[in-house]
Every structure is written in structure tokens, then in C-alpha cells.
Structure 1
Amino acid sequence: MPSGRIVEIVKGKKYQVIIEAGRNPKTGRRSSIKRTIYGRKTEAEKLCSDIIYELEHGTYIKPDKTTLAEYLRRWLKTYAINKAPSTYAGYKRIVESHIIPQLGRIELSKLQPMHIQEYYTNRLREGRRDKKGGLSAATVQRHHALLREALQHAVKWNLLYRNPADFTEPPTPEQPEIFPLEPEQLDALLEKAKGLRDEYLYIVAAYTGMREGELLSLTWNNVDLGKEPVCRVRQTVGYINGQGFVFRPTAKHKKARREIPLMEITVTALKQQKKMLAEEKLRNAKKYNKKSNLVFPDEYGNPLDPSAMTRRFKALAREAGFPQVRFHDLRHTHATMLLKAGIHPKIVQERLGHQTIGITMDTYTHVIKGLQKEAVEKMDEWLKNKKGHQMGTKEQNDRS
């Protein structure tokens, strides 16, 4: 029967767990397992009991020398590569620019919650690459989500017995601020966009709520401008350094793969876009990508550079008097207009491709609160009218 003991190395902070695992059946020598843990004594006691349990049930995993850096790079290649292009690029940037420089040398089996907690603190203080301060709580929260997901796979793949990120306390970010436009503000913005090459892209974005990657990867075979016009969202695109433009099936979740019925203004914009592309194809015939079927390509039929497009939009928004508005806020504008028009949140969720209605409700809390206030006012008015009607009926009965 294996037995264990705990030795305190640094009071209240560092412990060594020593497990007597019995005799080696081949050599006859006594074998022991030693693990150092940074944290509370209760964590050391749990580790001790966990190892003993695993030894007794034959599930103990002998730690190897794989470092966190080696594991994360392997995880990126075998798992994260299947994510949406922009998600994968973001993961790789976080891993290579932040996590590996700070934690990469630690052996995976020796990674402790305290290491990760110290990493969060460090990034909040001095995480910016320009050395001018720390990262935001929201950014560090994303680092935590990535690290927790990667380490959870290590548990599933029997490389770890528990996920150390589960025992940390990442910073709590404030609700990200969004800047939806009012209908008249959207009209002003689109008026400024008239004559610009991206004009019809902005209209479709504002009146479908599609994500940037979904719009820039949309193909004409997924657009139906007939009696019941729809856009079918089937893929996304992102630009990854070293790989260029990467197209992948919509990868967020099943709800993201959807059909979006189109409004008349959107149908008109798409017809104008098709006409513009036909003219460009003739004008740039020699250099035009004849295989292109993209709805929103560049002037040569190639994928549109998302960074350049968002820069053009920011310049337009500033000129229109809305300097804080981003391209993604056209999506928020669409959702806000639908909710204010009395469209059920479930329908809004389906148009946006949110995984759950809870995400929709949480994102647009400001609109929901306003609608609740409006509902209360309407209910008050209805009750007043009802009581007035009842009073009038009573008076008539009294006279008779």
C-alpha cells in the first residue's frame, strides 16, 4: 500500500509531497515519488491523496520533461489549428509573445496555480509589448481562457492529472463598451460612404449583422436574390502571417452556420455590388482572379485585406462624426435596431448566429433595460385607460 507525507519547505507557500510507492517488482528496490507544489497546504494534501489513489487504481501518470512551451506549440499544431483563422492567429500570438516568454521553461507536470497567478499579475503590470504598461483585464482574461483550454486538453490526453488554471483567479474585466448607431446616425454614415468602393459592404454589414470574416468570405453561390432573398453563412476567412488568407467552414458553433433573410435595402446593395464587380472584371481583365466568386473581394477579385478595410471604415466614421465607432459596431447597430423595433430576442440571436440567447441578452442589456422601461410605461397607460373605462361604466350603471 502506498503512503505519503508532506514536508513544508517555505511556510504556507511551498511544500514537497513524498509518496512511498512500495518496491519495484523488477529490481526489488523501494521507489518513491517526490513532487514540489507552490500553494497552500490543503493543495499539497490533495495532491498527495490524488497520487495515492491513482497508484492504487493503476492510473498514475509518470511526469515527463515536456516543458509548457513544447506542449503549447504541439497543442497549437494539433488542436488550435482547427479553429477559425483569426482565432488561431490570436492564440498563436498570445502563446508566442506572452505565455512562452514568461512560463515556457517550466515543465508541464510542475506547472502550479501560483505560477499562472503570478503570470496574470505580471501581464497586468507590464504586459504591453511597447513596455509602456500592462494589459487590460479583458486581455488577461483571454490569456486565462486560452491557457485553461490548452491545459484541459493536457488532462484529457493524460499528460496532467488536474488543470492548474482551474485553481487561479483571473481578473474580472468590465463589460466591453459597444457603440451602436441610431438609425439617423447610420443614415449619415452611409451617406458619407456613397461613391466609396466599400459602400455596399457597409450596408450589408449594417442590415444583416454578419461578422467581418463571414462577410469577407461570402460567395455568390451562398446569396439568393430571388423571391425570398437570403444569405447563407457557411465559412469565414482570416489573414495569418506566414500563411496568407485562410478560409475555413464557420467554426464558432452550429448556430453560426445559418441563413439570414434579406431586407430590401440589402438586396439592392448586393445587386449594385454585383454590377460594380462586373465592371471591375472587365476593366482589370488581365490581372483579375477569374476563379473568384467572392461577394466582397478587392478590385482584382482577391480576398479583401481586413486590416486595410477596417482602417478605411475608421477614417469614414471619424469623418462622419463618430470617431469611437468600429466596423464591428455595424453588427451591434443591426441587433439594437431589431430589438428596438420589437423583434423577439430569439430571432435576433438567430440572425446574429449567437450560440445562446443568453449571449444576446447579455450583450444588449442596455437595449433590454430601455425596452423594459418602455413596457412599464405602456402597461401603466393601459391600466389607467382600463380603470377609466371601468369608472365610466360604473357611473352609467349608477345613473340607470
Structure 2
Amino acid sequence: MQIEVIEYKGSKVKKKIKQNGAISYSQKGVYLGVDVKTGKQVTTTITARTLKELDRKSNRAKLEFEKNGFTKKERIEVHILEDLAEAWYRSYKTLVSSENTLNRVRGYLDNYIIPKFGDFQPQQIDASDVQLWVTEMANNARDAVDKGKLNKKGNAQDFGAMAHKLSDIFDFGITHCNLEKNPVSSIKIPPKPKRNKERVMVLHDEDLAKWLLYLTTLPNTRGNRRFKIICETLLCSALRINELLALKISDLDMEHSEISVSKTLMWKNPDKKLGIKGKVICKPTPKSDAGFRNVSVPLEVLERLKEFHEEMNRYFESHDLPKSELIFPTIYGAFMCDRNEQTTLKKRLIEVGLPDYGFHLFRHTHASMLLNAGANWKELQVRMGHKSITTTMDAYAELAPKRKVEAVNIYNAKMKELKQLC
């Protein structure tokens, strides 16, 4: 491309000649006028195929500016609520760093808001439309709580959060798309139905012994070796499953017999409109600041984790693949999704007649073991990676039946002592 600067009507114009012979003219700093809102002079750049077209475009830009009296703000064109919701979500993504939050809000849009209002013109949606929708969701949620069917689609407990997100979408439309009203602002959100407190699943001594015996019967395959070391590590450390699957070999401190927790895996939802598939990503921080911790575990567990890491790297080497720092990589060296292992775990728990509760079962069991052995709440809080000790106490107060019996024994012993003094 050839570029030269020419003089045209007292101004400098850049002339560009492409390799195919096409010519274009570009003029910077074309004066439009003074912005009545800011008091600043406004200029722009005009590009055209000929000098005459350059003149026409300059005059048109000046007339448009004089008509508006100020720099025209770019408007987002929307025709139906789905357009508005997607425009809002694009903006929302720039303000939120948590993939979990984005996944949840994306679910609100795809499963509830867009299916209900997506084809509506935003200005035609009334408060009564939104109120009926929210009330219907609240009734479904209440029925689900009463019948114990909490996972069925349409029974969402967070209908209030969805209403607030719909309100945010309309506020965005008022700011960027000339909408005149937000119909959500005048609705009443019903109270969230209260669920009966669920019993925390835990393996007490007899069930835990049954599970450990079952693990010894599994065939000695690589998949089973991985499954067993995952279960064993979760049981002795109380790590969350995605904290464990994020571990690298450098996170194992063999000298001090500790695991360093500093990250977690999470699922990034697909974007069907952009053709992006869902995938597992590594969040470079744990669930909360309190999640940063060094957890003491038996040295033999660290050694088995190291052995499995070496086994996987021997596999990569034999298949001419690069080695991985991950302890539990896929056969392609990527982050491992916990879903397949969760399915395997649930199938095997059912097979031996134990509660089907997923990998958190081992986290709860670990907490129960510590409490029954006399660990204090603060010690347990730090080990579990909880931000607040209240969270720890609320979650695990029911997990120490031995301590309950111990409390009765302490009371009886004290009363016996006092009676002897009478």
C-alpha cells in the first residue's frame, strides 16, 4: 500500500493506494462544532473513496452534529427482550470476575427469563406480566419444598434473584436503549420458602469400615487407582473435590507432610451463540480467602499422590505427549472434570448401600472424625477453609454423636460429685 499526504482546500488529506489500485482519502480533525453538554470542541475523522465524497461526508457530519447540538451517544438497537438481555449480559460480564456467578446468571437467562419474555417487545411488558411470572415461580418453589422435589427444572428457589436481574436488564435498557419504564420496579417478590434443614450425610465407623473394605475389592486398573487415591485424599484432608483436582505436584510438601491449597477448578458454561463449548478452567484462587491453607495429611498419602503423578507422566511419555504438572490430568493432559468421577462414586455408594451424597461425603466424614476425637471448632474451621467459624458450627454441629454422649457423661459425673458433698 502506498500512502501520501496531499493538500486539499487548505487541509492535509491522506491518500492511500492499495495494491489492487483502489484509492481512498482520509481526513483527520474535521471540525464539527462545540458540544453543548461539555463545552468542548468536537472533531472527527472522515474517510471516502473520492475527494468529492469526502466533502459530502464532512458536510453531512457537520449538519448531523448541529441538529443534535452535541456528540451523539451510541445507542443499542433492540427489538425484543432477548436482544436487550444479551446486550445487558455482555456488559455484565465485564463487571464480574467470578465464573460461578456468570454461570448462575447465564442459567437465569437461558432457563427462565428469555424463555418467558424473550420474544416480547420490552416496552410492551407490564408490571402485571412480571408479577404473574414471579408469583408462579414462587408457588412452584413452595410446592417443590413441600414435596421434596428441589432439583426439577422450574422449581428454582432463587426466583427473587431472577426478578432482580430482570430489573437490571430494564434499567440497562433505560440507560442505553431509550426505554421509558422498568416494570419490575413496582412488583412484590414473595418470601422464599423455607426448607427443612437437611441432615448432613456422613460415614460413621461401621459405614466407613464397609466403604474402605469395598475399595480393596476394586480391580487394579489405572482408573480405579485414581478413584481410590481421590477418595483417600479427600477423607484425610477434607479438601473439596475441585481443590484436589486442581493440585499440581509442586503443591505437595513432602518435608512437612502438607498439601498447599491455593486454587480450584470450575466449569465455564458454553456460549451457543458464539459457538464456544463448555470447559473446565482453573480459578487461581480457592473458594474464599480462607481457602488458602496448608493441610497436614499422612505422608503415605502424599507418596501415593506422587506415585500416581509419575504414572501419568510415564503414560504421556509413552504416547509422545508433553508431561503434566497436574496430579490428576486427563489422558490429554488437561484439567479433569469431576462429573465422571462423581457418577462413578454415586454408583459405587449405592452398590454397597451407603448414602448417595457425592464427594462432599468424605469432607463431612473428616469433620465428624475430628470433632469426635476432641478437635476444637477453630482448628476445624481452618482445616475446612471456612471464612467464618459460624459456617463451620452451623454445618457440622450434628456430626459428633460421641461428643453428645460425652456431654451427658460429664453432667452425670458432676452431679454424682455434688451429691457426695451433700
- Say yes or no: TM over 0.5: yes
The answer to whether the 8 Å contact 1:124/1:135 transfers is no
Of 67-76 and 188-197, deviating more is: 67-76
**Aligned position for 2:197:** 175
Q: Specify every segment of 5 or more residues in structure 1 that has no aligned partner in the other structure, as ranges.
A: 1-63, 128-132, 392-400
User: Matched residue of 1:141: which SS?
Assistant: coil
User: Matched residue of 1:298: which SS?
Assistant: coil
Matches within 5 A, 1:1-400: 69-70=82-83, 72-74=85-87, 76-79=89-92, 82=96, 84-85=98-99, 88-104=102-118, 105=120, 107=122, 114-121=131-138, 123-124=140-141, 140-145=156-161, 147-148=163-164, 151=167, 167-194=189-216, 195=220, 196=224, 197-227=226-256, 229-238=258-267, 240-241=269-270, 242-250=277-285, 252-256=287-291, 258-264=292-298, 267-287=299-319, 290=322, 292-367=324-399, 371-372=403-404, 374-388=406-420, 390-391=421-422
Separation (CA, whole Å) in 2 of partners of 1:343 and 1:365 = 13
Q: Specify every segment of 5 or more residues in structure 2 that has no aligned partner in the other structure, as ranges.
A: 1-76, 176-181, 271-276
Separation (CA, whole Å) in 2 of partners of 1:259 and 1:340 = 23
Q: Deviations over 1:157-201 (max 9, x none)?
A: 996698668743232233344311113422432332344221111
Tell me how far 1:297 sits from its aligned partner.
Answer: 1.9
The answer to whether the 8 Å contact 2:281/2:335 transfers is no
Q: Deviations over 1:191-238 (max 9, x none)?
A: 323442211111111122222221111222222121252322323332
The answer to whether the 8 Å contact 2:265/2:280 transfers is no
Q: Deviations over 1:310-337 (max 9, x none)?
A: 1111122123321523222222222222
In angstroms, what is the RMSD of aligned CA positions? 3.9
Tell me how far 1:74 sits from its aligned partner.
Answer: 4.5
Distance 1:201 1:157, change over 3 A: farther
Separation (CA, whole Å) in 2 of partners of 1:277 and 1:76 = 40
The answer to whether the 8 Å contact 1:80/1:88 transfers is yes
Separation (CA, whole Å) in 2 of partners of 1:126 and 1:383 = 49
Separation (CA, whole Å) in 1 of partners of 2:257 and 2:320 = 31
Of 292-301 and 82-91, deviating more is: 82-91
**Aligned position for 1:53:** none
The answer to whether the 8 Å contact 1:254/1:355 transfers is yes
Of 107-116 and 350-359, deviating more is: 107-116
Q: Deviations over 1:98-142 (max 9, x none)?
A: 232124447399556624532414644999xxxxx9866995223
Separation (CA, whole Å) in 1 of partners of 2:264 and 2:195 = 30
The answer to whether the 8 Å contact 1:223/1:229 transfers is yes
**Aligned position for 1:44:** none
**Aligned position for 2:9:** none
Q: How many percent of aligned residue pairs carry the same amino acid?
A: 21
**Aligned position for 1:39:** none
Partner letter of residue 263 of structure 1?
Answer: V
Q: Deviations over 1:317-361 (max 9, x none)?
A: 123321523222222222222222222223222222223222222
Partner letter of residue 311 of structure 2?
Answer: E
Q: Deviations over 1:267-315 (max 9, x none)?
A: 3223112212313322342546525211222344332232111111112
Partner letter of residue 293 of structure 2?
Answer: E
User: Matched residue of 1:366: which SS?
Assistant: coil
Separation (CA, whole Å) in 1 of partners of 2:247 and 2:263 = 8
Tell me how far 1:249 sits from its aligned partner.
Answer: 2.5
Q: Larger Rg: 1 or 2?
A: 2
Partner letter of residue 214 of structure 2?
Answer: K
User: Matched residue of 1:226: which SS?
Assistant: coil
